[in-house]
Amino acid sequence: MNRLRRHATVLLLVFVAVVPQMVRAQARRPITETDLFKFVWAADPQISPSGSQVAFVRVNVNEDKDRYETQIFVVAADGSTPPRPLTSGRNDRAPRW
């Protein structure tokens, strides 16, 4: 159960670190299809063997190229530092330790 709780905490920290601008209060309106191009999300989180870091895939939409772009980021598991890019490609995925 402790491991499950740690995974859930790490996922929450990664989500909050990657998508802070989505939380800003704005006038209420329906989501439009162009709003979807602004979404950025985290996928495939992988906790390091020591439990001190989490590698994850940052996914965003490139509207001009009509595709998803992915990059691997790493963040401290305790949330003490902001996520930083680990790779610089546009199609990087499946981080593993």
96: in domain: no
Is residue 97, in this structure, part of any structural domain at all? no
Residue 82 · residue 71 · CB < 8 Å: no
Q: Please compute the mean of the pLDDT values over residues 66-82 and round it to a whole number.
A: 92
pLDDT value at 37 more than 90: no
91: in domain: no
| Residue 57 located in a structural domain | yes
- Give the contacts of 75 (CB within 8 A, at least 6 positions apart): 13, 14, 17, 53, 54, 56, 81, 82, 83, 84
pLDDT for 73 beyond 80:
yes
Buried b (16+ CB within 10 A) or exposed e, 25-63: eeeeeeeeeeeeeeeeebeebbbeeeeebbbbbbbbbee
Identify whether the C-beta of residue 89 lies closer than 8 Å to the C-beta of residue 66.
Answer: no
Please report whether residue 17 resides in a domain.
yes
Please give the pLDDT value at position 31: 85
Number of domains in the chain: 1
pLDDT band at residue 21, thresholds of 50, 70 and 90? low
* Token pair listed for 10: 């790490």
- Per the structure, the complete domain to which residue 6 belongs is given by 2-85
pLDDT tens, position by position, 82-92:
999 999 888 99
Do the domain assignments include residue 92? Answer: no
